[in-house]
Structure 1
């Protein structure tokens, strides 16, 4: 039997719930192979949404030597811009953090797509974004 950690109210008070999804690059959809290339993190309590990306070109080329690296980098940069909001976010500029996150995690049949959404607790969503990038992508 596996031990489960029960979060006591005193432990949870300084942390907020966050959601995250891994950004996957699927260079050849018909093969179903992918590499992780970024993370999206959303924390409603803090109005925080961000994406951090890292494209490992050697791994990408192993899956598809003809992959459009520039196009994939542009798509990953666009996700970061939507998260940041402002002029770079295009039509999503006026949306709140939650709406931008939900739009970005919507299923798509493109080369860059989000994986399933997971949850956790954090006291620092920005640090959590970096931790998840290091853990799941790099």
Structure 2
């Protein structure tokens, strides 16, 4: 039996109109220092997004670019810039720091898991899809 690892996760939120403070969950970042694990993924439901804003007035490509940058940073890719070269704990803390932009994250939540990939998939399914 695999030993359980401590992890933290944060929900990535899209706030189409920041001034209204309404958001929809679009992604998850999961991190385990002990396991040297960090993963992010996102999915935007365009139909759900219509209930927040008019899509013809929404810069969808800019949001995708920011979310793709989150992925590059998480994966440590050189195209993710200087933040991507940091260790995984620093990357997680940077990605989950407080922002006042259209892309924000929840405060990190802790947990235990013996299978981080399975935990990620479960959280993603429950909180994003």
* Shorter-chain TM-score range: over 0.9
Q: CA deviation at 1:67?
A: 2.1
RMSD: 1.4
Question: TM-score, structure 1 length as denominator?
Answer: 0.87
Equivalenced residues, count:
127
SS in 1 for 2:18: coil
Question: TM-score, structure 2 length as denominator?
Answer: 0.92
Structure 2 stretches lacking a partner, 5+ long: none
Equivalent residue number for residue 25 of structure 1: 14
Equivalent residue number for residue 122 of structure 2: 131
Structure 1 stretches lacking a partner, 5+ long: 1-10
CA contact (8 A) 2:11 2:106 kept: yes
Equivalent residue number for residue 76 of structure 1: 67
Greater Cα radius of gyration, structure 1 or 2: 1
CA contact (8 A) 1:107 1:113 kept: yes
SS in 2 for 1:46: coil
Equivalent residue number for residue 98 of structure 1: 89
The whole-number CA distance in structure 1 between the counterparts of 2:61 and 2:32 is 30
SS in 2 for 1:109: coil
